[in-house]
Amino acid sequence: MKENYTALYPNEEVALKVGDYSYEHSTKLPKHITDHHTWGVETQERSNYMISPLQAQFQVWMAKAIGAKRILEIGTFIGFSTMGWAEAVGPSGHVTALEFSPEYVAIAEESFAKNGIKNVEVVVGDAKESIKKLSETVKDPYDLIFIDADKTSYPTYLEQTLEYSQPGSSTRLLRPGGIIIADNILRRALIAGPRYPSPSPDANPWAAKERERTWRETDMAALHKFNDMMVQSSRLETFLMPMFDGLGMGRLVD
């Protein structure tokens, strides 16, 4: 398609069919990971926090494509996306997962133990504090940092990543050439367009409902700021991928 836009699907049914088709034509996730997603959907009130299996396929693929061996995840929930990262880096790699809620951490750790996943360390607490502490102790830099926690802190997570990854520093968070991936940066398209009306509320009431559900003034302001910071930083090469709920991707140049 030569045009520079992502076609909006006419309705939820078509969107789901396209997603399922893409899922079937992408390398499968191991069964224990898809089982955890299914279990999360069936049992967790906030299961919509999880990325989709299709997005997990993309993330595993991307991590392997860059040869990632060390990944930092900000926002772990019950450990679904974490399991994808753990798979991508392999047993000799390492994933550091940051999560605020001890309740979610307990679920994630139980699932890791049950599935013999030994290459993940979960750090409980406010990610901003955890990142600061990590930056003081980290020996080897991360290859990839995944941002998927509270939207209002996205600008801070990016500032911290850049500040704690200074060129020439012996201790740095992200390596030169390392990748940042931030989830939900389009917020059901709200970020790129007006709140009302949605591009075609009558033609696509499903999309309009989704926009309404995810609207929060503070989140919107923070995500606008984050997206601007990403593209304006001279230290990053960026690509905003308008898939899933919007993935902000940056490559650290120095």
Ligand X SMILES: C[S@@+](CC[C@H](N)C(=O)[O-])C[C@H]1O[C@@H](n2cnc3c(N)ncnc32)[C@H](O)[C@@H]1O
Q: Quick one: tokens of 50?
A: 């999880």
Told to check if 127 binds ligand X by CB under 6 A, we report yes
Told to check if 148 binds ligand X by CB under 6 A, we report yes
57, 81, 119, 161: which one binds ligand X (CB under 6 A): 81
Told to check if 50 binds ligand X by CB under 6 A, we report yes
Distance between CA atoms of residues 173 and 65, nearest Å: 20
Told to check if 180 binds ligand X by CB under 6 A, we report no
Place of tokens 């926090």: 49
Omega within 30 of 0 (cis) for the link into 10: no
Nearer to ligand X, 57 or 204 (CB): 57
Give me the least distance between CB of 81 and ligand X, in Å please.
4
Give me the least distance between CB of 31 and ligand X, in Å please.
17
Give the residue from 122, 78, 70, 126 showing the smallest Cα distance to 103.
Answer: 78
Told to check if 157 binds ligand X by CB under 6 A, we report no
Told to check if 145 binds ligand X by CB under 6 A, we report no
What is the arrangement of strands in the sheet containing 236-241, beginning at the earlier edge strand? 120-124, 94-99, 70-74, 142-147, 174-183, 247-252, 236-241
Give me the least distance between CB of 65 and ligand X, in Å please.
20
Told to check if 103 binds ligand X by CB under 6 A, we report no
Nearer to ligand X, 143 or 150 (CB): 150
Helix (H/G/I), strand (E/B), else coil: 179? strand
Which residues partner with 96 through β-bridges? 72, 121
Segment contacting ligand X by CB under 6 A, of 60-68, 92-100, 154-162, 211-219: 92-100
* AA letter at 85: W
Helix (H/G/I), strand (E/B), else coil: 76? coil
47, 101, 171, 214: which one binds ligand X (CB under 6 A): 101
Residue ranges binding ligand X (CB under 6 A): 49-51, 75-77, 80-81, 98-101, 104, 126-127, 148-150, 153
